[in-house]
Amino acid sequence: MSWRRIFTWKAAGATLATTTLIVIPSTVIAYKYGQRTILQAPPEELFPHSSTTKLSDLQPPRYCRDLSRVIPEFTQLGLEVVNTKPEIDHHTGNDFTTHKPLPGEVPQYIIYPKSTAQVSQILQICHRESIPVLPFSGGSSLEGHIHSTRQNLVIDTSKMSSILAINDDDLDVVVQSGVNWMDLNQALQPRGLMFGPDCGPQGLISGMIATNASGINASRYGAMSANVISVTAVLADGTVVKTRQRPRKSSAGYNLTNLFVGSEGTLGIVTEAVCKVYPIPKSETTVVVQFPSIAHATNAVAQVFKSGMQPNAVELLDGDMMHCLNYSGYTTNAWLEVPTIFFKIGGISDVVVEENIKVLNQCAKDNQGQSFIFAKNKQEQEELFSARKNAFFAMINWGKNEIDEDVRIWVTDIAVPLSRLSSVLDQINDRIQKSPFASIILAHAADGNSHVDIFYKHEQRAQVELLVNEMIELGLANEGTATGEHGVGNAKRRFLESELGADTIGMMRKLKMSLDPKRILNPDKIFKIDPDDDYEY
């Protein structure tokens, strides 16, 4: 009979007077300190002793199959539960991404909670019944984050959309999870304030936290990770936690706020957040510089940052993108069709901005920048930057006219250290030139984050996918990441292993299992949680 069998879990708690018992190699170790209860080591199959969780350590999760049985319990609580076709469709996927849900990856019901307490009530029931749950905000994420791989229930927090406080002097806001970032900016504007991060127009605060969203302004204001001070979240079993009060600074233990940033709804449902806000720059202008090559452009960016300047935005558009803009006629400028950077320079006064422009001008000259254009007033600034803002529509317009009315665009999202960006982009361009595809490049250059957007026709999907995978691998080989800002979802799970290694993912899985042992929260996203899941999306 093994030690395990003698000290069964149920037998834990026996007392022992004066023995020191150390049993090796069994897991049972008891120390003597006078009269002391032997705390039985819990069985390993329930509580593995390793610091990481391998996929092979797990049994497949067991989920509730018949949600309809539980729905009356929700409605009795006064909750709004829907399953009409338009609602189901809206929560199944979106049209922006090439990564579509598989047939059958459809949610069964959608619940709209109105408060943290309601989210807690819902999760208590889901936890008890092992109901898989998809947290949902604006639905604009791009990598299969919101695919209902388990025919789950959707908890849509978009109706919790109040701005609870704007603390001007502290430069922070307290918001519910469903606040849209553009609505927030509108509310802040009369007070001379703005929110830093931006993403797809539909994005809501909690979705942005869950994907660590960033965007055009991240050069100056950082991604969501730099902008969230505290979150209120409901854990898988319904426990409500608030990660911090409202201080900017704190050494109070683990940074649980950051644990929720980029967690893609797998660790808890965020219901409230305290976020940083900024004064709208008193003076701001747009400067556009065109360069002979991408390497010249990225060298100029490196020089700008080394000079100590902090541009608000540094957006690189390659020659192909400039061609689309030129072709579309959306802007009045006729551009050279060469790599171009749109800088936004802001500061506390025109004098400060002018000083910055001088430095920028020198950086441009040192790197053979041509046509240094800067806006002299607000209207010119908006017009100049509108070229960047219209880039998306310009590329679609070009593709529809020049390739196919039904053209598709595959948007990649890799990031590498800035010094590697130009060589990576050159290698990518080489490969695209040898392929049958056309592409454009848009990069948040300050962060080494690039979106290579490839045009293709429906029947070329498999071929374009191979090319995209090569690009991601090129990024990884250059100390980069498979996703700079869009996240992993289930579309990029397989790259995460080569990016971070199996042990790092094993640590993430361990965290997931400790906080959500029934694996009900957004299953199958970021990494696999089911040993029977052999699907490569």
Burial 70-82 (b: 16+ CB within 10 A, else e): bbeebeeeebebe
Residue 107 in contact with ligand NAG, rule: CB under 6 A: no
- Listed in sequence order, the residues at least 6 apart from 318 whose beta carbon sits closer than 8 Å to its beta carbon are 294, 339, 340, 425, 429, 440, 441, 442
Q: What is the spatial distance between Cα 36 and Cα 32, in angstroms, rounded to a whole number?
A: 6
Residues in touch with ligand FAD (CB under 6 A): 96, 134-142, 145-146, 157, 177, 199-200, 202-204, 206-208, 210-211, 213-215, 264-265, 269-270, 485-487, 522, 525
Residue 337 in contact with ligand NAG, rule: CB under 6 A: yes
| Rg of the chain taking only CA atoms, in angstroms | 26
- Judged by beta carbon distances under 5 to 8 A according to partner kind, the member of ligand FAD, ligand NAG, none in contact with residue 305 is none
Stretch that binds ligand NAG, among 255-263, 370-378, 466-474, 506-514 (CB under 6 A): 255-263
- Listed in sequence order, the residues at least 6 apart from 500 whose beta carbon sits closer than 8 Å to its beta carbon are none
E runs forming strands in 57-108: 80-82
Cβ neighbour number for residue 367 with a 10 Å cutoff: 21
Pair of tokens at residue 145 = 């984050």
Q: What is the spatial distance between Cα 109 and Cα 264, in angstroms, rounded to a whole number?
A: 20
Among 139, 265, 346, 347, binds ligand NAG (CB under 6 A): 346
Residues 443-462 that bind ligand NAG (CB under 6 A): 447
Nearest residue (CB) to ligand NAG, 148 versus 490: 490
Stretch that binds ligand NAG, among 16-24, 50-58, 225-233, 392-400 (CB under 6 A): 225-233
Cβ neighbour number for residue 249 with a 10 Å cutoff: 6
Residue 310 in contact with ligand NAG, rule: CB under 6 A: no
Shortest reach from residue 250's CB to ligand FAD, in Å = 22
Among 225, 370, 435, 469, binds ligand NAG (CB under 6 A): 225
* Contacts by 252-260, CB closer than 8 A, 24 or more apart: 257/228, 257/229, 257/230, 257/231, 258/225, 259/511, 260/209, 260/210, 260/228, 260/231, 260/233
Number of residues that bind ligand NAG (CB under 6 A): 27
Interaction mask 489-518, ligand NAG, x per CB under 6 A:
------------------------------
Shortest reach from residue 378's CB to ligand NAG, in Å = 10
Among 116, 180, 206, 257, binds ligand NAG (CB under 6 A): 257
Q: What is the spatial distance between Cα 324 and Cα 337, in angstroms, rounded to a whole number?
A: 9
- Determine whether 308 is exposed, middle or buried from the number of CB atoms within 10 Å of its CB (0-12, 13-18, 19+): exposed
Instruction: Please list the residues that pair with 241 across neighbouring strands.
Output: 233
Please say whether the dihedral angle defined by the alpha carbons of residues 402, 404, 405 and 407, taken in this order, is positive or negative.
Answer: negative
3-state secondary structure of 422: helix
Among 50, 255, 419, 514, binds ligand NAG (CB under 6 A): 255
Among 150, 344, 420, 451, binds ligand NAG (CB under 6 A): 344
Interaction mask 263-292, ligand NAG, x per CB under 6 A:
------------------x--x--------
- Judged by beta carbon distances under 5 to 8 A according to partner kind, the member of ligand FAD, ligand NAG, none in contact with residue 210 is ligand FAD
Stretch that binds ligand NAG, among 28-36, 141-149, 210-218, 457-465 (CB under 6 A): 210-218
Residues 460-489 that bind ligand NAG (CB under 6 A): none
Pair of tokens at residue 167 = 């603390």
Nearest residue (CB) to ligand NAG, 447 versus 516: 447
Nearest by Cα to 316 from 218, 413, 388, 414: 388
Chain residues binding ligand NAG by CB under 6 A are: 194, 198, 212, 214, 216-217, 223, 225-226, 228, 250, 255, 257-258, 261-262, 281, 284, 312, 326-327, 334, 336-337, 344, 346, 447
